[in-house]
Amino acid sequence: MIIVAAALSCLSLLRYMHMEAGEDLAMFDQMLWSVRQGQGLVTSISGNTFLQFPHHFFGEHVSPILYLLAWPAGLTRGPAALLIIQALAFAAAAFPLRRLVLRLTASPRLATAAAFVWLLQPALWRATLYDFHMEAFEAYFLFSFALAFIAGTWRAWLWAALYASCKEDAPLYLAATAFLLGWKFQRLRTGTAIAALSILYAAAAILWIGPAFSPTNAPLLASRLITPASCDGLWPWLQRILLHEHRWQFMLRHLFALGLLPLLGGWLLIPAAMTIGIMWISVADPQALILLHYPYTVAPPLALAAALGLQRAARLHARLPKPWLRNTATAALAMLLLISLATLWRTQARECLDISIGRAAPFAASYRQAAAAMAAIPPDRPVAALPTLSAHVARRANLSLILRGCDAATLVLPLDGIIHPLFQNTYTAWLDTLLATNSPYGVEAVGGNHVLILRRGAPTSHNAAARSLPRAINAIDLKHRTGAPALDPRALTGRAWHATRAHRPGHALYGPHLPLAPGRYQVAFRVRATRLKPEFSAIVDVAENNGNTVLAEARLERPTHGYEWITLGFTATGATDLEFRCATPGRGTLYLDQVRWQRLDMSKPTPFVVTP
């Protein structure tokens, strides 16, 4: 538990420091800061594009548990405390799960194995690395509730209340779980009482509390539901939900991750089926496919059903007449779990590392400068930021996301890295417009050549210098006709695009069709090559006119000593489709890390970088 919590905390913090965290982390940090300011759970942003206005979070989700997190979240200057708390919550859930399985099976080995299987769930690692979400606490509360309920202690009421406070749909799963546990363990009166109160609270949260905090007098996320009315009838509605192969495919992943044991849980599989059913009636693909943070909701009821399934399997195991039969059954179950987890990790390990890997050591000082520049923005000033930078400036009442062009008082923009949801060429043209000498915005600060802070009405004396700052795009984010992504600890971001003998010859890199202003530029390709020969050389170039006009090119005919920069000078003519390319011969191995370009015929940047 300690190792997993530490690993997930470090990876989450690296993602945040790498300026790749998303708007969900900013949203929670902003609303918890608002609670500490006495304003309640108020946020001006959301993960939903149609909720970009100040609103109380209960209009989206009724989650009273967040009030308990407001002050622990303030222990750090940014949202780092939230990321650490989330990792601890996930890892700590293994403790009540182990005790629960131990009580059900009386086998310390089975109990410990169940805890390890929980800690090794790849979907839950992925969920923990995806910003912050209050559903991370549901597992600990649900397992603790089941343990206390079976033991017949009063703590079952406490854990039930905490679980129900996580989200408005949690009481529905709690009601089914309490009733079924009461029926199975001869505590039907207590189980029925908890179930009845849970249903009453769920009805109040969905039909009254949520609409009361919504400016539309209806839950703000109601439009995400697939209903028979939206499908023109009950049968088309059922077809859309149940005859979707990808939904079944992703659901089976969660069952295989638990060794199919939930299927032996009997009626206790109903709460898990309820969670999946609610996910499936969402129009949002990540929710319908149980991706991102949604496994936090589905996995705990599935694990609870698996615990009951393990109890049934243990009883069947004890009835086997021969020792060799019992040993064979144990080995078969262990192999099923190992194969399932190994298969899932093979497909999902890359995703977990891709979203969290930090840059190399030289990035640390540059990050501190970028973080200091963003921290220096006064908290009472309205700020608009790209989603990947929003978590660094979230603690203010007026924050907006840059989802397209924006005219806020202060803009926080990246010079490299992820710029989602904007396209690179659109973003480049917009940034050049903002940095024009007649722009209404002036450069206020530059953080480590990674972050640019513009303020409306500020002097534009630094704009020309800022236009000549290096711009970068990761090779993995460009377009490709051959090759594949690869994890590479020597790459600046830990990720690279590579082409080997197994890939056909062609352009391993091209794009992003930039609208660069006319002038002199310099471009550098960060490349690592092995097994290259002069007769099988790779070519890097700069082209425009739909790739037909080559402005500059260079050949790479030898292996490199680690990563090297290949630098080209070129003159842009003002075409709107300038691209950086790398053609590979289909021989040797080539790793492409980053492309960096810089305008040369403008004044050099002046020292106005904010330092820590």
With cut-offs at 50, 70 and 90, classify the pLDDT of residue 591: very high
Contacts of range 287-294, beta carbons closer than 8 Å, 24 or more positions apart:
287/224, 288/244, 288/247, 289/246, 289/247, 289/250, 290/123, 290/250, 290/251, 290/254, 291/126, 291/250, 292/126, 292/127, 292/130, 293/24, 293/127, 293/130, 293/131, 293/133, 293/135, 293/136, 294/127, 294/135
Q: What is the mean pLDDT of residues 391-396?
A: 96
In CATH terms, the fold of domain 472-599 is Jelly Rolls (2.60.120)
Question: pTM (2 decimals)?
Answer: 0.90
- Look at residue 349 and tell me whether its pLDDT is greater than 60: yes
pLDDT single digits (tens) 423-471: 888 898 899 899 998 999 999 999 887 899 999 999 999 998 888 888 8
Q: What is the mean pLDDT of residues 319-325?
A: 86
> Is residue 404 within 8 Å of residue 430, measured between CB atoms?
no
Cα–Cα distance for residue pair 473/488, rounded to 1 Å: 17
Q: What is the mean pLDDT of residues 74-85?
A: 96
Q: Which of 325-329, 398-402, 516-520, 556-560 has the highest mean pLDDT?
A: 398-402
Cis peptide before 421 (omega within 30 of 0): yes
- Look at residue 326 and tell me whether its pLDDT is greater than 90: no
- The pLDDT of residue 507 is 94
Terminal CA-CA length for the chain: 35
Percent of the chain with pLDDT over 70: 95
pLDDT single digits (tens) 547-556: 999 999 999 8
Other residues' Cβ atoms within 10 Å of the Cβ of residue 181: 25
User: What integer best gives the mean pLDDT of the chain?
Assistant: 90
pLDDT single digits (tens) 201-244: 999 999 999 999 998 888 888 888 898 988 889 999 999 899 88
Q: What is the mean pLDDT of residues 307-330?
A: 88
- The pLDDT of residue 179 is 98
- The pLDDT of residue 398 is 95
For Cα atoms 403, 404, 407, give the angle at the middle one, nearest 5 degrees. 105
Tokens standing for residue 163: 């679980």
Q: What is the mean pLDDT of residues 135-152?
A: 97
> Is residue 591 within 8 Å of residue 485, measured between CB atoms?
no
Enumerate the CATH 2.60.120.260 domain ranges in the chain, comma separated: 472-599
Largest pairwise CA distance in the chain: 87
